[in-house]
Structure 1
Amino acid sequence: MRVGVVGLGIMGGPMAMHLHRAGLLAAVYNRTRAKAEPFEKLGVYVAQSPGDLAKRVDVVIIMVSDAPDVEQVLFGPGGIVEGARPGLIVVDMSTNSPDWARRFAERLAQYGVEFLDAPVTGGQKGAVEGTLTVMVGGKEELFKRLLPVFQAFGKNIVYVGPVGYGQAMKLVNQVVAALNTVAMVEGLRLAKALGLDMDKVVQVLTGGAARSGSIELYLPKLLKGDLTPGFKAAHLKKDLSYVMELANRASLSLPATALALELYKKMVEKGLGELGIHALGEIY
C-alpha cells in the first residue's frame, strides 16, 4: 500500500515519519518545501502538488489546519482530484466538522474516490511517539483495509461510524480537552495565589480525581514556562467554533463550552493563537 501525506506540520511531519519507518510512505507534499526536505533525504518522493502526489499513491492522508485548506488541497488548482483515479482513498485527518466531511465525500465520489474522516488526538507528543488516538468515520471495510496505516502512528484506533462520525467524535473530544485545560489553568492560578508548593500540587493533580490529558501533557510544560504548542490555541478556537455552530443548530445548551470558546477567542485576538492551548493563563 503506497501512502502519501499532504501537510507536514506539528502533527503531519511525525506521522509521515512513522509511515516511512513502516515502509508505507511513498510521497509527501507541503506548501513550504523546506519541511519536506528531511523526507527527500530519506528517498521519499516530494510531490510538486497534491495532484502530483495523488498520481503516485493508493492512499492520501491530509493533515492541514481547517476545512478550507482541505478543500483547496482536494479541489483547488493542482488539487488531488487532478491526479486522482477511481479507487484512490483520501483520509482527512485534520479537524473540521461532520458537515464538511460529508460534503468532501460526496464531491470525491463523483471522481470515484473513496473518503474517510479520521481526526486524531494526542497532540504533538502522541504524534512523535506514535501513540495517537484515531477516530475513523466512513465505510467499515475501508477502515479495515487501512488499519495498518493507522497503526503506524496510532495506538488507540476506533471505528466510530459512517462518514462524518470521525469529526463528530473529535469535536466531543475537543470539548472535554478544552474544559480540562481551562480547569488546569484556573486551578494553578488558585494554587499560586494560596502559596502552595507546586511540586505537591503536581503530585495531587496527577494522582487524584483531577488528573486528565491536559494535566499529563501540559502541566509539566506550564511549570517550566514552556508555552510552545503541542496543539495551537488558534486551532482549538477553530474546533470549538464548529462545536458551537452544531450546538446552536440543535438548540443545545453548552454554557461551559461557550465560555471556553470566548477565552480562546481572546487568546487569538491578543495575538497568542500560535501558542499552545495551555498558555491560556496569558490572557487572565
Structure 2
Amino acid sequence: MKVGFIGLGIMGGPMARHLHKAGFLAAVYNRTRAKAEPFGKLGVYVAESPADLAKRVDVVIEMVSDAPDVEQVLFGPGGVVEGARPGLVVVDMSTNSPDWARNFAERLAARGIDFLDAPVTGGQKGAEEGTLTVMVGGREDLFQRLLPVFKAFAKEVIYAGPVGYGQAMKLVNQVVIALNTIAMVEGLRLAEALGLDIDKVARLLTVGAARSGSIELYLPKLLKGDLSPGFKAAHLKKDLAYAMEIANRKSLSLPASALALELYKKMVEKGLGELGIHALGKAY
C-alpha cells in the first residue's frame, strides 16, 4: 500500500516519518517545500502538487489546519481530484466537523474516490512518539484495510462509525481538553494566590483524583515557562467553534464549553493564538 502525505507541520511531519519507517510512505507534499525536502533525502518522492502526489499512491492522507484548507487540497487547482483515479482512498486527519466530512465524502464518491475522516489526539508529543489516538469515520471495511497504516503512528485506533463520526468524536474530545485546561490554569492561579508551593500542587494534580491526560501533558511545560505549541490555541478555538455550532443547532446547552470558546477567542484576539493551549492564563 503506497501512502502519500500532505501537510508536514507540527503533527504531520512526525506522522509522515513514522509512515516512512513502517515502509508505507511513497510521496509527500507541503506548501512550503523546505519541510518536504528532508523526506526527499530519505528517498521519498516530493510532489509538485497534491494532484502529482495522488497519481503515485493508493492512499492520500492530509493533515492541514481547517476545512477550507482541506477543500483547497482536494478540489482546488492542482488538487488531489485532478490526479486521482477511481479506488483512491482519501483520509482527512485534520479536525473540522461532521458536516464537512460528509460534504467531502459525497463529492469524492462522485469521482469514485473513497473517504475516511480520521482526526487524531495526542498533540506533538504523541505524533513524535507514535502514540496518537485516531478516531475514524467511514466504511468499516476501509477502516480495517487502513488499520496497519494508522498503527504506524498511533497507539489507539477507534472505529467511531459512518462518515462524520470521527470528527464528531474528536469534537467531544476537544471540549473535554479545553475544560481540563481551564481547570488547570485556574487551579494554578488560585494556588499562587494562596502562596502554595507550585511544585507540590503540580504533584497533586498529576497523582490525585484531579489528574488527566491533558494536565499530565501540559502542566510540566507550563511550569517551565514553555508556552510553545504542542497544539495551538487558535486551533482549539476553531474546534470549539465547530462544537458550539452543532450544540446551538441542536438547542443543546453547554455553558462551560461556551465559556471555553470565549476564553480561547480572547487568546486569539490578543495575538496569542500561535501559543500552546496551556498558555491560556495569558488571556486572564
Normalising by structure 2, we get a TM-score of 0.99
**Letter matched to residue 86 of structure 1:** P
Question: Do residues 179 (structure 1) and 179 (structure 2) align?
Answer: yes
Structure 1 window deviating more from structure 2 (63-72 vs 190-199): it is 190-199
Tell me what 1:248 maps to.
Answer: 248
Q: Give distance in 1, aligned partners of 2:37 and 2:282.
A: 35
Deviation at 1:242, TM superposition (A): 0.2
Tell me what 2:275 maps to.
Answer: 275
Q: Give distance in 2, aligned partners of 1:203 and 1:84.
A: 52
Deviations 1:15-53 (A, max 9, x none): 000000000000000000011011011111000000000
**Letter matched to residue 212 of structure 1:** S
Deviation at 1:198, TM superposition (A): 1.5
State the percentage of identical aligned residues. Answer: 85
Structure 1 window deviating more from structure 2 (121-130 vs 207-216): it is 207-216
Contact 1:119 1:135 (8 Å CA) reproduced:
yes
Deviation at 1:203, TM superposition (A): 1.3
Tell me what 1:150 maps to.
Answer: 150
Contact 1:232 1:277 (8 Å CA) reproduced:
yes
Q: Give distance in 1, aligned partners of 2:71 and 2:242.
A: 16
Tell me what 1:133 maps to.
Answer: 133
Q: Give distance in 1, aligned partners of 2:170 and 2:94.
A: 10
Q: Give distance in 2, aligned partners of 1:121 and 1:169.
A: 11
Deviation at 1:210, TM superposition (A): 0.6
Deviation at 1:112, TM superposition (A): 0.3
- Say which SS state the counterpart of residue 115 (structure 1) adopts: strand
Q: Give distance in 1, aligned partners of 2:2 and 2:98.
A: 27
1:79-118 → structure 2 map (5 Å cutoff) = 79-118=79-118
Deviation at 1:202, TM superposition (A): 1.4
Deviation at 1:199, TM superposition (A): 1.6
Q: Give distance in 2, aligned partners of 1:77 and 1:115.
A: 20
Tell me what 1:12 maps to.
Answer: 12
Q: Give distance in 2, aligned partners of 1:211 and 1:123.
A: 18
Tell me what 1:76 maps to.
Answer: 76
Tell me what 2:189 maps to.
Answer: 189
Q: Give distance in 1, aligned partners of 2:214 and 2:123.
A: 10
Contact 1:3 1:27 (8 Å CA) reproduced:
yes
Q: Give distance in 2, aligned partners of 1:34 and 1:49.
A: 14
- Say which SS state the counterpart of residue 236 (structure 1) adopts: helix
CA-atom RMSD, angstroms?
Answer: 0.5
**Letter matched to residue 120 of structure 1:** V
Q: Give distance in 1, aligned partners of 2:77 and 2:213.
A: 39
Contact 1:3 1:61 (8 Å CA) reproduced:
yes
Consecutive unaligned residues in structure 1, runs of 5 or more: none
Tell me what 2:239 maps to.
Answer: 239
Q: Give distance in 2, aligned partners of 1:133 and 1:182.
A: 22
Consecutive unaligned residues in structure 2, runs of 5 or more: none
**Letter matched to residue 281 of structure 1:** G
Q: Give distance in 1, aligned partners of 2:257 and 2:245.
A: 11
Tell me what 1:160 maps to.
Answer: 160
Deviations 1:64-101 (A, max 9, x none): 00000000000000000000000000000000000000
**Letter matched to residue 238 of structure 2:** K
Normalising by structure 1, we get a TM-score of 0.99
Tell me what 1:212 maps to.
Answer: 212
Deviation at 1:193, TM superposition (A): 1.1
Q: Give distance in 2, aligned partners of 1:190 and 1:39.
A: 47
Tell me what 1:45 maps to.
Answer: 45
Q: Give distance in 2, aligned partners of 1:171 and 1:204.
A: 28
User: Deviating runs (4+, > 4 A) in structure 1?
Assistant: none
Tell me what 1:262 maps to.
Answer: 262
Deviation at 1:171, TM superposition (A): 0.1
